[in-house]
Structure 1
C-alpha cells in the first residue's frame, strides 16, 4: 500500500483540482458493431474518426495495428518495420528468460542497438484480427432439438468446428469462435498469428516497475511500464517460425504517435483484448466473492508473498528466479483487495438486489414472462446454495495445495504414473516422458526448494486449519496422526524424501519410467498431490461442474430477459479475450472523502517518491536523476516538466495491459497498464465515479528510449506527429502510410463535406 506520507503529499497538492461531472462510458464493445451502437456517441464525446476508420475489412484501419500479445496481453504496431509496443510487465517473462546474474536485464534494462542484437523468444506470439463475423445462426443451428444443456453444447461445438474449418480452408488463418451473452450470440474472429517475436528494448525495472508492489493498482502512478518487441515475418510478409532469414513485418497500419499530449476531458479510446469480466452476475454470486472467496484467497497469497519476499531480498539468485512469479502472485492478491473495497464502496450487492427486484416485478406483470422467467431468481438461489463448501474447497486446492510448487509439479506426473500402472505401451510412456523432460528443464530453472519448503508448510497449514475438516483431503488424516498436525515437520520429511525436490531426482524418475519402472506412485510429494486431486475429482468437480452448467443456462436466460426488459439500452458482452473497444475521457476522480486526484503525473513525482525513503520500490537509476536535474527532456517535455502517466475513464480489465490509448484523431497517446485500486471491481460492477484506467504517457516512453537509453534509432522509425487538427485530414495522413493513391471523387466529396462541417462548427464556437 502507498505510504501515508506520500498519500498526504498528493492529497494536499491536488485538493484544488476540480472533478469533471461527465459520466464515463461503461462497456467493452465489439468493433464490428460500433457503427450501429456507438459511433454517434463516440463522436459526440469528441472522436473525429468514423467506425470504418476503427474497424474495416475493406481497407486498413486501426484494428490492423492491434495484436494479442502472447494471448495474455495486448500490443500495438508503432512503426512500418514491425516495432511492437506493449507493457514491461507483459514482456517481463521474456526479459527474465534472457536474464542471468551476469546479464541482469531485469535490473539494468536491455536495448538492441541494431537488428542483430534483437533477442528471439520461442513460444511468444502476436495475433492480428483479419475480420469478424456474426455466426450466431450457424452455431445455434439444430440446438432447438437438444434435450438438455449437454446435448446443446455438443451441437454447438460441432457447429463451431465446421464453421471455423470452412472459413479458413486453404489459408494460413485460424478461426476463433466465442459465445457472447452466455451463448445467446456467437462471433467468429479470423486471426493471423506471427511466431517470430524478438525483444528490442526494455527499461530497467526501476523504471518499468517503478513503484513495484507498493504502487500496484494505485494512483498516483509514475511507472514507465513499457517494452518494445519486433514482429518478424517470412516470405510474402506472412507468419513463419523463427529464422535468421526472416524480415521485419510490414503492418497494414501502424499508429502515429502524438507529441501534443493530453488535456482534461479529451476523448480517449482503448483498443485491445480484455480477458474476463462478469458484469451480469447476480447478488448471490457477488456476495460469495466478497464474503467468502476473496478474503481466503487474499490471506493465502499474502502468506506466500511474505515468505518469498524475505528469501528474494536475501539472495539475488532467488530474486531473479522468482521475480516473474512474485509479480504474478502479488498482482491478483492486491487486485482482490481493491475489488472488495470497490464492491463495498459501490454498494454492488445492494444494487444487484434492486435490479433483481425490478426484474421480478417486470416478470410478474405479464403471464408470458411468468412462463418464461418465473422461477429464474429462485433457481439462482438454489444453485448458489448448492455451492456451499465447494467454492472454498476449490479455492484452497488451487491457491494453497497447488500454490506449492512441488505439489503442482508432482501433479503433472499423474498421466505418466497412470500409464505405468496399467503397463501401457512403452511408446506411449516414452512420449509422456519426453514431454515431462522438457517441462522439468524449464521448471527447475526458476525453482528454489528451500523457499518452496517454507511455502509448503505455511500454505498447507492454512488449508488444514481454515476450512471445515469435512472438506479435507484424506492426506490430512495422515498428517494429523503421524505429525500431530505439524506441517513444518511434514514439510521436512517430504522435502528430504521426494524426488521432485531437484532436477536430478526428476531425471532419475523419468529414466526409470523409460525402463517401465514406476518409482512415482510412492513419492511423498506425488502421494500428497494425488490425495488432493482425488478429493477434487470426487467431491468438488462434480458439484462445481453441474452447478455451473445450470448457472450458465440460467444466466443465458437472465441476460436475455434483462435485454428485453431494458430494450432502450445498448448491452455489451462480457470480456472473453476477444478484440474490444472501450472509450471514455481523460479525467480526475475522488477516491475517498477529502482527496481529489488529478489526471496526470510527472517526473517530479518520481523524484519525490525516490526521496521519501518509504519503499525499496522507489529506487531510480542515476541517469534518470541526471536527466531530471538538467531538465534534459528534449522535445518530449512540456513547460519544464516530463509527463509520466495519466488516467481516463475507459473500462478495462486484465488482457488490456499493453493496449494503446488512442486520441480523437486515431493517434497513440499512451499505453494502458493498470487500473486504480478503487476501480478494480469493474470486472463485476462498473462505478463511473471510481473506475479509471492508468496509462504510460507515450511521451515518457519516447523520452526513456531516446534520452535515457540512447536508442534514438528506434524513435526514428516511428511516425511522430504534432498536428492536432480533427476530422478526415488526420485520417488521410494515417492512410498515406500505405502506398499513396489518388482520392476518388467520392472520397474528395466526403472530405470537402467534413471540412465545411468543421469550419461551420468553428465559426459557431467563435461567434458564441
Structure 2
C-alpha cells in the first residue's frame, strides 16, 4: 500500500504554481485559490464561494444532466433551451408545435408540466465520508467482494441521509475512488415549462453549428419549481405553489468586455484528465470509432423510419437531438486526438511520474503493474458491453429488461437490492417507462432493433458476450415480437411494476419472454463488471494518491475529474487562434444572425427578430464597444458536458451568461486541457433579455427578475419618468 508520501487531499495547501484557468474545483477548495481568483478579478471572497448556504452558490441548481440557476424568489429557473427541450417536445404536437413556434406562459396558470423527467436538485450539504466507505477494506479481498462492500456502505450512507424524504442523497467517488463525499440535495419534482423561444432562436444553426465558432444561438429557456403548500417537495399537483428560493441571481445587463474575469458554476458530467496513455489509445483507436459508427447508423435508421411522418418526427426529435450531440462530441474527440497526439503527451508525463515514483520510499513495487493489468481487463469487458448495447437497441426490450430486473430485486429486502432497483428508485423507473408515451413509435423501434442486430453480427466475434448469439432473434423475426407484446401501451407497461417474478415467468408477452431469456447473459456481464470495478477501485486510488503527491511537488493544480457534482471554474473573456494565421474574436452579434440566415433550417430566424435588427432597436442592450447586441461570447473557463445551463457570473456574482457549448478544437479538454485553444461558448445574457423584450414580449418574466441595467440606460429611464 502507498502510505507515506501524501497529505489527504482535503488538507492540501494552496496551489502556488497554478497559472491557468484549468480546474473544475469543488467549492471547498476555493479558499486555496485566492490568488487565482484575485488574478482574474473576482471580488467575491473565496470563503463565501465555498459556502453552499450563501449567495451565489445557493442559487445554483442541477436538472439531473444539465445545470441551472434561480433568477427570482418564486422558483424561476433559467437554463439552456436544449436542457428544456424534453419538456418542450413533451408538450408539442403537430398542431401546437412549441419546438418551432416557441412557448411563453403569460401567467403561472398557463405554465405547462415538464414531465416526470423534469427535476430540480438543490444541493445543501456536502460531507467527506471517505473513512466510512474505505476503512477496513483489505488488499486480500476479491474485486467483487471489495466492490460489493463499498456499495453496501454507500447504500447505508444514503439510507441514513434520506430519512427525510424531501432529500435525495448520493455518495460519488472523487479522484477515481480516493475520496467519497456524501451529497444531500432537495429534489423538487413538480417542474413546469415557463418559456422557451422558437428553435429558430434557441437552436439557431442546429447540428451544423454545434461545437463551432462563431455561434449565434439563443440557447436559453425558463422553468419553474413548485412545491407543496408546506414548502416541501411534492408530486405534481394544481395545489402546489412556486418554491420560495432562498437566494437567486441578479441578472446583469451591464455587459462584459474582452479580458474580463468570470466565474462559472454548475454540474459538469465526466472528464478523463487522469487517464493513462493506454486508456487514451483505447478510446482513440477502438472505442470511439466504434461509437461514432454506431451513432451514425442509428440516426440513419431513425431518419428513414420517421421520414414523411410528422408525428413520428416530433416524438423522436429529442432523441435525435441528444444522439447528434453525442456524435459530434465523440467525432470532435477523434479529430482532436488526430490534431494533437495527447497519448504521446501523456506518455511523457507517465514516464516522468513513474521515474519519480520509483524514487519514493515505502511504495508498492507492484502497484503500477497491477494498475496496467486492471485497466487491460476493463477495456476487454468494455468491448463486450458495447456489443451488448448494439444487440439490444430497442426501447421495448430495455423496458422489459428493467421491469423484470425490478421484479427479481423485489424479492430481496430493500437494503440488499442492487442500486437502481431500490424503493427510492421506483419514481425514476416509472419516469423512464412513462417517457415512451412521448418518444416512442412502434415502427421506429422495430427498425432500430432489426438494424442493431445486423450491426451486432458484424462486430468482432471476440466482443460478443458468451452465450448471447444463440439467444437473440434473427432480424427477420423481430416484427413478430412487436405483434405479440402489450408493452407499447403505457398503462400496461407501468402495470408490470406491480407484478412479481413469477408473473413474468408465466407471461407469453414476446418482449417479456426475450428479457427473461437474455437475463443470464446480462447477469454474467454484471458480475464480471463488479470484479473488474473492485480491482480498479483498489488500485487506482493508490495510483491517484501518488499522482497527486507528484503534481503537488510541482505546484500543479490538483482537482478531481468531473463527476456530475457541483463545481466552480473561472476564466477570462478571450479570443483564440485555432490555427496559424487565424484568430477568432470573443463576441458575436445579432448582425451575424442576419448574415447567416438562408430561410432554410437550421438557419431561419423569426421575422420579428430580423425586423428588430434592421431597425436597430437595441435599447439598453446595445454594447458600447460593439455598437450592437452581443449574442454569444467565449471564455477560457474549464467546462464539459453537464455544464450546459451553468451560470456565468461577473466579478460580483451577477448573471451575465449561460454556458452551452465549447469550440470544436476544445472537445479534447475532457482528456487534456490546452490553455491556448480551450474555449467555452456562452450565451450573452443581453441577447436573452433583448429577445425577451423585442421579439417574444416576455414582459411578465422581465418584471419578475431583478435586472441590473447599465448606468446610462438607468439614467435615460429616470429622465423619461
Q: For this structure pair, what is the TM-score category when the shorter chain's length is used for normalisation?
A: 0.7 to 0.9
- Residue range with higher mean Cα deviation, 315-324 or 459-468: 459-468
1:363 aligns with 2:357: yes
Q: 1:564 aligns with which of 525, 532, 549?
A: 549
Structure with higher Rg: it is 1
8 Å contact kept, 2:394–2:445 = yes
Query: Residue 27 of structure 1 aligns with which residue?
Result: 23
1:276 alignment partner in structure 2? 270
1:616 is aligned to 601
SS of equivalent residue, structure 2 residue 577 = coil
Deviation at 1:148, TM superposition (A): 5.4
Given that 2:204 and 2:602 are in contact with CA atoms closer than 8 Å, whether structure 1 keeps it comes out as: yes
Residues 389, 471 of structure 1: 8 Å contact kept: no
Instruction: Tell me the alpha carbon deviations over residues 368-422 of structure 1, each in whole angstroms, 9 at most, x when there is no partner.
Output: 23xx2x2233223323333464322211222x2232334323433534897999x
- Using the TM superposition, name which of 248-257 and 694-703 deviates more: 248-257
Determine if contact 1:268/1:662 at 8 Å carries over to the other structure.
yes
Would you say the 8 A contact 1:283–1:352 is kept in 2?
Answer: yes
Aligned equivalent of 1:654, options 627, 631, 641: 641
Deviation at 1:634, TM superposition (A): 3.0
Q: 1:73 aligns with which of 66, 73, 87?
A: 66
Question: 1:385–1:81: structure 2 CA closer, same or farther, 3 Å change rule?
Answer: closer
1:294 aligns with 2:279: no
Are the aligned partners of 1:67 and 1:74 in contact in 2 as well (CA < 8 Å)? yes
* CA distance in structure 1 between the aligned counterparts of 2:131 and 2:649, rounded to whole angstroms: 34
Tell me which residue corresponds to 2:616. 631
1:550 equivalenced with 2:535 (yes/no):
yes
Residue 375 of structure 1 aligns with which residue?
366
SS of 2:576's equivalent?
A: coil
SS at match of 2:96: coil
2:128 maps to which of 126, 134, 138? 134
Query: Residues of 1 paired with 2:485 and 2:317: CA distance?
Result: 25
Gapped regions of structure 2 (runs ≥ 5):
1-17, 412-422, 713-721
1:411 paired residue number? 401
Deviation at 1:332, TM superposition (A): 1.1
Deviates more, 1:446-455 or 1:153-162: 153-162
Contact 1:509 1:520 in 2 (8 A): no
Q: Does 1:454 align with 2:477?
A: no
8 Å contact kept, 1:31–1:579: yes
Structure 1 distance, partners of 2:27, 2:400, is 44
Select the residue among 673, 698, 715 that pairs with 2:702.
715
Superposition deviation, residue 698 in structure 1 = 0.6
- Is 1:537 matched with 2:523? yes
Quickly say closer, same or farther: Cα 1:292–1:54, change in 2 above 3 A: same
Q: Distance in 2 between matches of 1:433 and 1:39?
A: 44
Q: Structure 1 residues 724 and 379, CA, compared in 2 at 3 Å: closer, same or farther? A: farther
Task: Answer yes or no: is 1:580 the counterpart of 2:593.
Answer: no
Quote the offset at 1:690 in angstroms.
2.5
- Offset of 1:240 from its aligned partner? 3.7
- What is the alpha-carbon distance in structure 1 between the residues aligned to residue 305 and residue 700 of structure 2? 40
Q: What is the correspondence of 1:4-19 to structure 2 with a 5 Å cutoff?
A: none
Aligned to 2:336, which of 342, 353, 375? 342
Q: Structure 1 residues 515 and 316, CA, compared in 2 at 3 Å: closer, same or farther?
A: same
Q: Which has the higher helix share?
A: 1
Alignment partner for residue 630 of structure 2, among 638, 643, 651?
A: 643
Question: d(CA) in 1 for partners of 2:254 and 2:495?
Answer: 61
The 1:706/1:350 distance shift into structure 2, 3 A limit, reads same
CA contact (8 A) 2:25 2:559 kept: yes
- What is the distance in 1 between the residues matched to 2:548 and 2:498? 60
| Distance of 1:520 and 1:249 partners within structure 2 | 46
The question of whether the paired residues in 2 share the 8 Å contact of 1:24 and 1:585 is answered with: no
Question: Is the alpha carbon distance of 1:379 and 1:500 closer, same or farther for their aligned partners in structure 2, counting shifts above 3 Å?
Answer: farther
Deviation by residue 1:687-740 (Cα, 9 ceiling, x = unmatched): 222322111111111112221111112111212224699xxxxxxxxxxxxxxx
The one-character-per-residue Cα deviations of 1:13-48 (angstroms, maximum 9, x if unpaired) are xxxxxxxxx97411111112211x212211112111
Q: Whole-Å Cα distance in 1 between the matches of residues 433 and 233 of structure 2?
A: 29
Contact 2:67 2:643 in 1 (8 A): yes
Q: Which range moved further: 456-465 or 432-441?
A: 432-441
Q: How does 1:40-439 map to 2 (within 5 A)?
A: 40-56=35-51, 60-69=54-63, 71-123=64-116, 124-143=118-137, 147=141, 156=150, 160=154, 172-235=166-229, 237-369=231-363, 372=364, 374-387=365-378, 389-398=380-389, 400-415=390-405
- Give the whole-Å Cα distance in 1 for the aligned partners of 2:694 and 2:428: 46
Distance in 1 (alpha carbons) for counterparts of 2:60 and 2:495: 45
Distance 1:137 1:412 in 2: 33
CA distance in 1, matches of 2:520, 2:97: 42
User: Which whole-Å CA distance do the structure 2 matches of 1:517 and 1:172 have between them?
Assistant: 33
The answer (yes or no) to whether the contact 1:32–1:132 under 8 Å persists in 2 is no
Q: 1:170 to 1:378 in 2, by over 3 A?
A: closer
Per-residue deviation, residues 448-491 of structure 1 (Å, max 9, x unmatched): 22223332332221111132267266564588xx97xxx4x344
SS in 1 for 2:558: coil
Alignment CA distance shift 1:113-1:140 (3 Å): same
Number of aligned residue pairs: give it.
Answer: 678
* Cα distance between partner residues in 1 of 2:479 and 2:507: 19
What's the CA shift for 1:659? 0.6
Q: What corresponds to 2:651 in structure 1?
A: 664
SS of equivalent to 2:287: helix
More displaced 10-residue stretch of structure 1: 636-645 or 24-33 = 636-645
CA change 1:296–1:105 in 2 (3 A) is: same
Comparing 294-303 and 687-696, the one that deviates more: 687-696
Indicate conservation of the 8 Å contact 1:173/1:191, yes or no: yes
* Contact 2:449/2:478 (<8 A) preserved: yes
Question: Partners in 2 of 1:218 and 1:717 — Cα distance?
Answer: 33
The 1:237/1:517 distance shift into structure 2, 3 A limit, reads closer
